[in-house]
Structure 1
Amino acid sequence: MPTIRAIRAAVRAARVGVLTTQPRFGMIVASAAARAAGAVHLLSTHPLPDAARPRFLAGWTHLAGDASLEAVLAASGLDAVLPSDLASTRLLAGLSGEGGAGPCRLPLSPPQVLSALHDKYVFKTLCEAAGVLVPETRLLAAPADARACLDRLLAGGDTLRFPVVTKPIAAQNGRGVRIHRSARDLAAALATGGVWLPGVVQRYVPGRDVDLSLLARDGHVLCAVLQERIAGGGLRFFRDAEAEAMGARLIAHLGFSGVVHLDLRREAASGRPVAIEANPRFWGSLGWADGAGLGFVGQAIALALGLPVTDWPLDLSLRVRTPIGWWRALGRGELPNPRELRAAVRLRPAPRSVMDGDPVR
């Protein structure tokens, strides 16, 4: 088996392409890839003005509507290619086979598996089948379903209790998510179009948000880390055996390959992690993990190249803030350790020239 140094050297020598349909996501992943690889090339379905091209990009290609991705990749001269956002992950996953001409590809589950994970109601059924704890959830496929669900709640004929959360089954970045404290709140939202359909209604889980990031191949988790927001701004990265075991059960059940970011809630009453939804793609806070030295993209490049992937220490616990964030934290008496200071200096936000669109997670 090659040493960690040899693996890193092989990744540093690689020419890596990042496929994107959203420049914001593409730049986040490309920025992290540039820390690990020798040269990074962006393959985008949207044109990128020269003025918006950051220095860490060796080049970029606009994939026009009639362009064959397989043909572009075959002629690219790249060693490996990664997706970034959900659409590009589905696109890369749908290409025929891992062999043939062109760069090595990150192993990915089929598009139908990615779509199943992304669907809020199907995700709930997958979790139940895998023995993963999820909140009570009802499908609202049409207005009649929503009305019938409200009638059952009013009549006490449903085990679901308020407060509840409604959300569309396939939206991202928190769009369309609403908390309803009472039947009156839910009825008003239904009457004014405040509930996006098709969607789900789900038991609200009191507690705090925790995210689990995973890289896997063929149902085996290769590396994992959790993150949560910290007071005063920033993120804390850590390990948690119970949450990781929960994620591993889902990954094994699906035989999943690729990256996935699981949104969890640490239930206040029981302290147990509860699965809320999944994003089977790279995530918007990736730059913070990269600044912390948790190189998910570097690990993904190694996996694409057929090299071993190593996990992070089980006793990991690291707070990541911007330098300004730490300056403010010092005023509250919080002191960073040397590794946390290095992480603050390493943070590299994506260029503002491509920061259009909604916030990403």
Structure 2
Amino acid sequence: MEKKLNILLLAGSGALNLKVVYCLNAIDNIKVHICSSTPDNLVKFSRYKDHLFHLPWLEKPESCSEDIKQYCIDNNIKVIIPGDVNATAFLFEHQSNFPAAIFPCCSKDMLDQLDNKWRFAETLVNNHIRTPKTLLLNNKQAVKSITDNISFPIMVKPIYGESWHGVLLMESPRELMQHLESNSQYAQLPLIVQEYIPGIDIDLSFIAKEGQILISDVQRWLNEDELSFEANAEVSQLSKDIVSAFNYSGVGHFDMRLSTTDNRVYVIECNPRFWFSITAAMAQGLNFVEQGINYTLGKPFLSSGAKGCYLLPKKQLKKLLSGQSKLSQLSHAQRHSLTATLFDPLPHLVDLWRK
């Protein structure tokens, strides 16, 4: 019997790390080890792991680096995967200390250049890469200047964030001022103010090494329940230009917008980490985590492969229960994507309870 491959996931972001765990669970003949930076990470409640331990590697990076090194030796870990931005920065900083192969990653400053929406927009402009007009709002007194330089409606968002948290569409200067004066969680300055592009969301997910995209797919939202995986030369070229401009190594996801005004693609922002639709790509034929492991180990890997339309689990389940679809019509990967959450309810129940 072939010996199982030991993989270590550095987990610091619960809900996102669960997606990575589901991708790992779909890979044959591996053992999933998880090192959580906090004792209450949602992955501790998942059934799809072989071993989990906690080390505060954000607070005590040096000593935890040694502990992880020893764990890798004791458990024959072959690949270490960073599950989020902080894990990537930690792994890059201490990679020479670990005996295992390291998933593509980069420095903390490089991550911030991509994750910080203002720094990212500035770099795009400096490299003549198409992006909506973007301004930085530092104080309430600057609202007049902002509104003189950008047309409404506008998008307002925090400098850092994920999953559209705090991203709001503002129709007028008055609405913007009301938001700022609300003193809500997402009204804290500084904020990003960005030109609104009427159109369709279209994104590119990727794994890159030293400025070259190795693995990628393009996804377009057809509606709130359905994704289409398809080729798009303009999206692919824009993404290559960005990755090259940053000389980036790691995983990432570019949010873009296909304008219905001029039919051109605009780059909105970047998430230099795994993304929440990664299991959708897996269901449609491209398991980024699996192919990234293959690349890291020097094995053959798929550079693309996600195709067709993906229904979010809730919509797919409704179709199955209503008889509009049959389980036998789904591929093995689609069935796995659908059942992974159903057979692993505890972390999701805990997440709901915490909210």
TM-score normalised by length of structure 1: 0.83
What's the CA shift for 1:268? 1.2
Name the structure 2 match of 1:116: 113
Q: Which has the higher contact order (CA 8 A, sep 6+)?
A: 1
Alignment of 1:164-313 (within 5 A): 164-193=154-183, 195-231=187-223, 233-313=225-305
Instruction: Report whether the alignment pairs 1:103 with 2:103.
Output: no
Provide the secondary structure at the position in 1 that maps to 2:26.
helix
8 Å Cα contact 2:259-2:265 kept in structure 1: yes
Name the structure 2 match of 1:6: none
Query: Residue 338 and residue 330 in structure 1: after superposition, are their counterparts in 2 closer, same or farther (change >3 A)?
Result: closer
8 Å Cα contact 1:326-1:336 kept in structure 2: no
Once structures 1 and 2 are overlaid, which stretch shifts more, 266-275 or 334-343? 334-343
What's the CA shift for 1:147? 2.2
Name the structure 1 match of 2:85: 86
Query: Residue 215 and residue 163 in structure 1: after superposition, are their counterparts in 2 closer, same or farther (change >3 A)?
Result: same
8 Å Cα contact 1:322-1:345 kept in structure 2: no
In the alignment, the residues of structure 1 paired with residue 9 and residue 233 of structure 2 have an alpha-carbon distance, to the nearest angstrom, of 32
In the alignment, the residues of structure 1 paired with residue 167 and residue 114 of structure 2 have an alpha-carbon distance, to the nearest angstrom, of 18
Once structures 1 and 2 are overlaid, which stretch shifts more, 30-39 or 179-188? 30-39
8 Å Cα contact 1:216-1:222 kept in structure 2: yes
- For residues 252-287 of structure 1, what are the alpha-carbon distances to aligned partners after superposition, in whole Å with 9 as ceiling and x for unaligned? 111111100111111111222111111100012222
Name the structure 2 match of 1:56: 48
In the alignment, the residues of structure 1 paired with residue 8 and residue 217 of structure 2 have an alpha-carbon distance, to the nearest angstrom, of 25
1:43 to 35, 41, 52: 35
Amino acid at match of 1:196: Q
Amino acid at match of 1:187: M
Name the structure 2 match of 1:149: 143
What's the % identity of the aligned pairs?
25
8 Å Cα contact 1:124-1:137 kept in structure 2: yes
Provide the secondary structure at the position in 2 that maps to 1:298.
helix
Name the structure 2 match of 1:3: none
- For residues 321-347 of structure 1, what are the alpha-carbon distances to aligned partners after superposition, in whole Å with 9 as ceiling and x for unaligned? 267634755999988998854443121
What's the CA shift for 1:217? 0.5
Query: Residue 262 and residue 337 in structure 1: after superposition, are their counterparts in 2 closer, same or farther (change >3 A)?
Result: farther
Once structures 1 and 2 are overlaid, which stretch shifts more, 64-73 or 54-63? 64-73
Query: Residue 79 and residue 236 in structure 1: after superposition, are their counterparts in 2 closer, same or farther (change >3 A)?
Result: same
**Aligned CA-pair RMSD:** 3.1
What's the CA shift for 1:244? 0.7
- For residues 88-107 of structure 1, what are the alpha-carbon distances to aligned partners after superposition, in whole Å with 9 as ceiling and x for unaligned? 1222122253xx54211112
What's the CA shift for 1:179? 1.3
Query: Residue 45 and residue 149 in structure 1: after superposition, are their counterparts in 2 closer, same or farther (change >3 A)?
Result: same
Name the structure 1 match of 2:65: 70
In the alignment, the residues of structure 1 paired with residue 43 and residue 233 of structure 2 have an alpha-carbon distance, to the nearest angstrom, of 45
2:122 to 125, 128, 132: 125
What's the CA shift for 1:66? 4.5
- For residues 77-126 of structure 1, what are the alpha-carbon distances to aligned partners after superposition, in whole Å with 9 as ceiling and x for unaligned? 311110112221222122253xx542111121211010110001111012
Amino acid at match of 1:126: T
8 Å Cα contact 1:28-1:349 kept in structure 2: no
Q: Where in structure 1 are there 5+ consecutive unaligned residues?
A: 1-9
Query: Residue 55 and residue 272 in structure 1: after superposition, are their counterparts in 2 closer, same or farther (change >3 A)?
Result: same
8 Å Cα contact 1:119-1:169 kept in structure 2: yes
8 Å Cα contact 1:73-1:102 kept in structure 2: no
Amino acid at match of 2:297: L
8 Å Cα contact 2:95-2:102 kept in structure 1: no
8 Å Cα contact 1:116-1:122 kept in structure 2: yes
Once structures 1 and 2 are overlaid, which stretch shifts more, 250-259 or 170-179? 170-179
TM-score normalised by length of structure 2: 0.84
Q: Where in structure 2 are there 5+ consecutive unaligned residues?
A: none
- For residues 12-40 of structure 1, what are the alpha-carbon distances to aligned partners after superposition, in whole Å with 9 as ceiling and x for unaligned? 94210110112322222122122225111
Provide the secondary structure at the position in 1 that maps to 2:240.
helix
1:139 to 136, 140, 149: 136
Provide the secondary structure at the position in 1 that maps to 2:341.
coil
Once structures 1 and 2 are overlaid, which stretch shifts more, 317-326 or 296-305? 317-326
